[in-house]
Structure 1
Amino acid sequence: MTDPVNTPEPDEQRISQGADAIVPLETEVERDTVTMRRAPRYSRFMTLGALVGAVVALILTMSFPANDEFDRGQVFGFLLLACAAIGLALGALVALLIDRATARRAKSVTVEHETIHPVDE
Protein backbone atom coordinates (compact mmCIF):
# COMPACT_ATOMS: atom_id res chain seq x y z
CA MET A 1 0.00 0.00 0.00
CA THR A 2 2.11 2.88 -1.26
CA ASP A 3 0.97 6.41 -1.84
CA PRO A 4 3.70 8.34 -3.70
CA VAL A 5 3.50 12.07 -3.26
CA ASN A 6 5.79 14.39 -5.18
CA THR A 7 6.31 17.44 -3.01
CA PRO A 8 9.58 19.27 -3.50
CA GLU A 9 10.62 21.23 -0.43
CA PRO A 10 11.72 24.83 -1.08
CA ASP A 11 15.04 24.34 0.75
CA GLU A 12 15.81 21.03 -0.94
CA GLN A 13 14.52 21.97 -4.38
CA ARG A 14 17.88 22.39 -6.07
CA ILE A 15 21.39 21.19 -5.44
CA SER A 16 24.36 22.91 -7.00
CA GLN A 17 26.97 20.87 -8.83
CA GLY A 18 29.99 22.97 -9.54
CA ALA A 19 29.81 26.68 -10.25
CA ASP A 20 27.24 26.74 -13.07
CA ALA A 21 25.11 23.57 -12.98
CA ILE A 22 21.95 23.42 -10.83
CA VAL A 23 19.99 20.16 -10.72
CA PRO A 24 16.32 20.31 -9.65
CA LEU A 25 15.35 17.74 -7.02
CA GLU A 26 12.08 15.97 -6.37
CA THR A 27 10.97 14.37 -3.09
CA GLU A 28 8.90 11.20 -3.22
CA VAL A 29 7.10 10.13 -0.04
CA GLU A 30 5.76 6.60 0.43
CA ARG A 31 3.47 5.67 3.32
CA ASP A 32 3.18 2.11 4.62
CA THR A 33 1.54 0.45 7.60
CA VAL A 34 3.87 -1.75 9.63
CA THR A 35 3.54 -3.75 12.84
CA MET A 36 5.82 -2.77 15.71
CA ARG A 37 6.58 -4.96 18.71
CA ARG A 38 9.37 -5.66 21.13
CA ALA A 39 11.20 -8.98 20.91
CA PRO A 40 13.69 -10.53 23.33
CA ARG A 41 17.29 -11.22 22.33
CA TYR A 42 17.43 -15.00 22.18
CA SER A 43 21.22 -15.21 22.40
CA ARG A 44 21.28 -13.43 25.75
CA PHE A 45 18.65 -15.71 27.25
CA MET A 46 20.44 -18.80 25.95
CA THR A 47 23.82 -17.60 27.25
CA LEU A 48 22.34 -16.87 30.66
CA GLY A 49 20.73 -20.33 30.71
CA ALA A 50 24.06 -21.98 29.87
CA LEU A 51 25.81 -20.00 32.64
CA VAL A 52 23.16 -20.99 35.17
CA GLY A 53 23.62 -24.60 34.03
CA ALA A 54 27.38 -24.31 34.63
CA VAL A 55 26.78 -23.01 38.16
CA VAL A 56 24.35 -25.87 38.82
CA ALA A 57 26.97 -28.34 37.57
CA LEU A 58 29.56 -26.86 39.94
CA ILE A 59 27.15 -27.04 42.88
CA LEU A 60 26.25 -30.66 42.07
CA THR A 61 29.94 -31.60 41.75
CA MET A 62 30.78 -30.19 45.16
CA SER A 63 27.67 -31.47 46.92
CA PHE A 64 28.32 -35.19 46.32
CA PRO A 65 31.17 -37.10 48.02
CA ALA A 66 34.33 -37.90 46.07
CA ASN A 67 34.23 -40.98 43.85
CA ASP A 68 37.07 -43.55 43.63
CA GLU A 69 36.42 -44.14 39.94
CA PHE A 70 36.32 -40.47 38.73
CA ASP A 71 37.98 -37.36 40.13
CA ARG A 72 36.04 -34.09 40.66
CA GLY A 73 37.27 -32.56 37.38
CA GLN A 74 35.85 -35.40 35.34
CA VAL A 75 32.54 -35.34 37.24
CA PHE A 76 32.33 -31.58 36.71
CA GLY A 77 33.01 -32.00 32.98
CA PHE A 78 30.24 -34.59 32.57
CA LEU A 79 27.77 -32.52 34.57
CA LEU A 80 28.80 -29.34 32.76
CA LEU A 81 27.92 -30.85 29.38
CA ALA A 82 24.50 -31.97 30.56
CA CYS A 83 23.57 -28.96 32.70
CA ALA A 84 24.79 -26.35 30.20
CA ALA A 85 22.77 -27.99 27.41
CA ILE A 86 19.65 -28.14 29.60
CA GLY A 87 20.18 -24.51 30.70
CA LEU A 88 20.63 -23.40 27.10
CA ALA A 89 17.37 -25.09 26.10
CA LEU A 90 15.49 -23.62 29.08
CA GLY A 91 16.84 -20.13 28.27
CA ALA A 92 15.58 -20.47 24.69
CA LEU A 93 12.19 -21.66 25.97
CA VAL A 94 11.89 -18.66 28.32
CA ALA A 95 12.79 -16.28 25.47
CA LEU A 96 10.20 -17.94 23.25
CA LEU A 97 7.50 -17.58 25.93
CA ILE A 98 8.36 -13.90 26.43
CA ASP A 99 8.29 -13.40 22.66
CA ARG A 100 4.79 -14.91 22.45
CA ALA A 101 3.58 -12.74 25.34
CA THR A 102 4.87 -9.51 23.78
CA ALA A 103 3.45 -10.39 20.36
CA ARG A 104 -0.04 -9.76 21.76
CA ARG A 105 0.88 -6.13 22.44
CA ALA A 106 1.95 -5.41 18.87
CA LYS A 107 0.81 -2.10 17.40
CA SER A 108 0.26 -1.03 13.80
CA VAL A 109 1.80 2.31 12.84
CA THR A 110 2.10 4.31 9.66
CA VAL A 111 5.62 5.08 8.48
CA GLU A 112 6.84 7.47 5.79
CA HIS A 113 9.84 6.88 3.56
CA GLU A 114 11.23 9.88 1.71
CA THR A 115 13.35 9.56 -1.41
CA ILE A 116 15.03 12.59 -2.95
CA HIS A 117 16.19 12.24 -6.53
CA PRO A 118 16.90 14.51 -9.52
CA VAL A 119 14.00 15.43 -11.79
CA ASP A 120 14.09 13.79 -15.24
CA GLU A 121 13.76 16.44 -17.90
Structure 2
Amino acid sequence: MSEQQPSPEPDEQAAPADFDAADRQVIPASVRRAPKFAPFIATGAIIGVVAGLLCGFLLPNSTGVGRGTVALLVASGFAVLGVVIGGVIAVMQDRGTPRELKAMKEAEASRASDGDASGS
Protein backbone atom coordinates (compact mmCIF):
# COMPACT_ATOMS: atom_id res chain seq x y z
CA MET A 1 0.00 0.00 0.00
CA SER A 2 1.26 3.39 -0.78
CA GLU A 3 1.09 6.11 1.77
CA GLN A 4 -0.33 9.01 -0.11
CA GLN A 5 -1.71 11.90 1.79
CA PRO A 6 -5.04 13.09 0.54
CA SER A 7 -4.71 16.30 -1.34
CA PRO A 8 -6.51 19.26 0.14
CA GLU A 9 -9.86 20.02 -1.34
CA PRO A 10 -9.92 22.57 -4.15
CA ASP A 11 -11.95 25.01 -2.06
CA GLU A 12 -9.24 25.17 0.59
CA GLN A 13 -6.53 25.93 -1.97
CA ALA A 14 -8.52 28.54 -3.86
CA ALA A 15 -9.87 30.41 -0.84
CA PRO A 16 -7.12 33.07 -0.49
CA ALA A 17 -7.15 33.78 -4.22
CA ASP A 18 -10.94 34.09 -4.20
CA PHE A 19 -10.83 36.66 -1.40
CA ASP A 20 -8.21 38.74 -3.24
CA ALA A 21 -10.28 38.63 -6.41
CA ALA A 22 -13.40 39.57 -4.49
CA ASP A 23 -11.65 42.58 -2.94
CA ARG A 24 -10.79 43.91 -6.38
CA GLN A 25 -14.33 43.45 -7.66
CA VAL A 26 -16.17 45.19 -4.82
CA ILE A 27 -18.67 47.71 -6.05
CA PRO A 28 -19.25 50.51 -3.55
CA ALA A 29 -22.88 50.89 -2.57
CA SER A 30 -24.70 53.47 -0.57
CA VAL A 31 -27.71 52.85 1.61
CA ARG A 32 -30.58 55.26 1.25
CA ARG A 33 -32.24 55.60 4.60
CA ALA A 34 -35.65 56.90 3.62
CA PRO A 35 -38.77 56.73 5.76
CA LYS A 36 -41.69 54.53 4.78
CA PHE A 37 -44.61 56.76 3.95
CA ALA A 38 -47.43 54.35 4.81
CA PRO A 39 -46.72 54.21 8.58
CA PHE A 40 -46.54 58.01 8.77
CA ILE A 41 -49.84 58.39 6.91
CA ALA A 42 -51.55 55.62 8.90
CA THR A 43 -50.38 57.09 12.19
CA GLY A 44 -51.70 60.51 11.17
CA ALA A 45 -55.06 59.02 10.24
CA ILE A 46 -55.36 57.09 13.51
CA ILE A 47 -54.45 60.12 15.61
CA GLY A 48 -56.92 62.21 13.59
CA VAL A 49 -59.77 59.74 14.09
CA VAL A 50 -59.14 59.48 17.83
CA ALA A 51 -58.94 63.26 18.22
CA GLY A 52 -62.10 63.72 16.11
CA LEU A 53 -64.06 61.16 18.10
CA LEU A 54 -63.01 62.77 21.37
CA CYS A 55 -64.00 66.23 20.13
CA GLY A 56 -67.29 64.96 18.74
CA PHE A 57 -68.34 63.17 21.91
CA LEU A 58 -66.95 65.55 24.54
CA LEU A 59 -67.71 69.00 23.13
CA PRO A 60 -71.26 70.37 23.39
CA ASN A 61 -73.60 69.53 20.51
CA SER A 62 -76.14 72.17 19.46
CA THR A 63 -77.32 70.43 16.27
CA GLY A 64 -80.45 68.32 15.91
CA VAL A 65 -78.50 65.17 14.98
CA GLY A 66 -77.05 62.77 17.51
CA ARG A 67 -73.62 62.88 19.08
CA GLY A 68 -72.51 59.77 17.19
CA THR A 69 -73.16 61.34 13.79
CA VAL A 70 -71.35 64.51 14.75
CA ALA A 71 -68.44 62.49 16.18
CA LEU A 72 -68.11 60.48 12.94
CA LEU A 73 -68.17 63.60 10.77
CA VAL A 74 -65.59 65.37 12.91
CA ALA A 75 -63.47 62.19 13.05
CA SER A 76 -63.48 61.87 9.26
CA GLY A 77 -62.41 65.50 8.87
CA PHE A 78 -59.65 65.09 11.44
CA ALA A 79 -58.54 61.84 9.74
CA VAL A 80 -58.03 63.69 6.45
CA LEU A 81 -56.11 66.39 8.29
CA GLY A 82 -54.01 63.73 10.05
CA VAL A 83 -53.20 62.01 6.73
CA VAL A 84 -52.01 65.31 5.27
CA ILE A 85 -49.89 66.14 8.32
CA GLY A 86 -48.42 62.61 8.40
CA GLY A 87 -47.55 62.85 4.70
CA VAL A 88 -45.90 66.24 5.17
CA ILE A 89 -43.81 64.90 8.05
CA ALA A 90 -42.73 61.90 5.94
CA VAL A 91 -41.74 64.18 3.05
CA MET A 92 -39.76 66.41 5.42
CA GLN A 93 -37.94 63.34 6.77
CA ASP A 94 -37.25 62.16 3.23
CA ARG A 95 -35.83 65.51 2.10
CA GLY A 96 -32.98 65.22 4.61
CA THR A 97 -31.76 61.97 3.08
CA PRO A 98 -29.92 63.29 -0.02
CA ARG A 99 -27.62 65.49 2.07
CA GLU A 100 -26.65 62.55 4.24
CA LEU A 101 -26.16 60.39 1.16
CA LYS A 102 -23.97 63.05 -0.48
CA ALA A 103 -21.85 63.34 2.67
CA MET A 104 -21.46 59.55 2.80
CA LYS A 105 -20.36 59.44 -0.86
CA GLU A 106 -17.81 62.21 -0.28
CA ALA A 107 -16.44 60.38 2.76
CA GLU A 108 -16.16 57.16 0.73
CA ALA A 109 -14.38 59.00 -2.09
CA SER A 110 -11.89 60.57 0.31
CA ARG A 111 -11.24 57.19 1.96
CA ALA A 112 -10.71 55.58 -1.44
CA SER A 113 -8.30 58.30 -2.54
CA ASP A 114 -6.43 58.02 0.77
CA GLY A 115 -6.21 54.27 0.30
CA ASP A 116 -4.89 54.67 -3.26
CA ALA A 117 -2.31 57.23 -2.15
CA SER A 118 -1.00 55.12 0.71
CA GLY A 119 -1.03 51.89 -1.34
CA SER A 120 1.08 53.37 -4.17
Which structure shows the bigger proportion of residues in strand conformation? 1
Mapping of residues 49-64 of structure 1, within 5 Å: 49-64=44-59
Aligned residues: 91
- The CA deviation at 1:55 is 1.8
SS of aligned partner of 1:39: coil
Of structures 1 and 2, the larger Rg is shown by 2
Distance 1:37 1:72, change over 3 A: same
State the structure with bigger RCO (CA 8 A, min sep 6), 1 or 2: 1
The letter for the 1-side match of 2:34 is A
- The CA deviation at 1:39 is 0.8
TM-score of the aligned structures, taking structure 1 as reference length: 0.60
TM-score of the aligned structures, taking structure 2 as reference length: 0.60
Which of 43, 46, 50 pairs up with 1:48? 43
Mapping of residues 1-121 of structure 1, within 5 Å: 10-11=11-12, 30-106=25-101, 107-108=104-105
User: Structure 2: how far apart are the matches of 1:92 and 1:85?
Assistant: 11
User: Residue in 1 aligned with 2:7?
Assistant: none
SS of aligned partner of 2:94: helix
- Gap regions ≥5 residues in structure 1: 1-8, 14-25, 111-121
User: Structure 2: how far apart are the matches of 1:32 and 1:90?
Assistant: 39
